[in-house]
Amino acid sequence: MAGCSTDTDTSSAGGGGDFDFTAATPAGAVIPAESRQTAPAYAGELLDGTDFTSASVAGDIVVLNFWGSWCAPCRVESPEFQTVSADVAEAGVAFLGVAVRDQRQLAQAFVTDFAITYPSLFDPSGEVALAFRGFPANVVPTTILIDRDNRVAGVYVSAVTEEDLRAILQQLLEEAPPTTPTPSAPDD
């Protein structure tokens, strides 16, 4: 695995939803729709101090990227994620960073230095990662892709290239939108 890691114990990973991490997704690939598991709910405080809940991105494709200001691969990946984020912002794709094992001031400087405009949760203890049962919270960078139906479509436990990210998102964007009940017409 090409990433930054620490000796953080992941054995206490609890969480909600049906997702239970078993293995990383190959680069540039997505989990087949019929094999996807429901993503857990997650919430926290953004770097700007506002509250965030995963319900606010319901129906969107979500790129959940775990990073640290101290992580060299994150310094390569983050500007590429920003470029892709700007390109797909109007297509129903939400990017959310998760600053882990970091200090708020250093995380904010990282966001400023790399001109990152999408929000980042401040999660120094890794609670968001722990919501994804069995997820390897000690590997940074890691990216989790969540489809429009709130199912985990990919887990990448190393830096993701811009080319791979664009290919993955294109596959997810081409999938049918989430199924929502159609309101019935009133009887005449």
Domain residue spans in the chain? 30-174
Q: For the chain, give the mean pLDDT.
A: 85
Tell me what pLDDT residue 139 has: 83
Q: Is residue 18's pLDDT more than 90?
A: no
| pLDDT over 70 percentage in the chain | 82
Of 8-12, 94-98, 148-152, 164-168, least confident by mean pLDDT is 8-12
Q: Tell me the two tokens of residue 78.
A: 């983050």
Task: Write down the architecture of domain 30-174 according to CATH.
Answer: 3-Layer(aba) Sandwich (3.40)
Tell me what pLDDT residue 16 has: 53
Tell me what pLDDT residue 92 has: 95
Tell me what pLDDT residue 135 has: 73
Burial 27-43 (b: 16+ CB within 10 A, else e): bbebbeeeebbebbebe
- Assess contact for 169 and 84: CB atoms under 8 A: yes
Q: Is residue 39's pLDDT more than 90?
A: yes
Q: Is residue 110's pLDDT more than 50?
A: yes
Sequence-ordered list of residues with C-beta below 8 angstroms from that of 163, at least 6 positions apart, any chain: 28
Residue scoring higher pLDDT (186 or 1) = 186
- For residue 62, the tally of other CB atoms under 10 A from its CB is 24
Task: Determine if the peptide bond prior to 183 is cis (ω within 30°).
Answer: no
Q: Tell me the two tokens of residue 20.
A: 């239970």
pTM (two decimals):
0.84
Q: Bridge-partner residues for 64, per DSSP?
A: 96, 144
Residue 122 Cα distances to 22, 95, 128, angstroms? 26, 14, 10
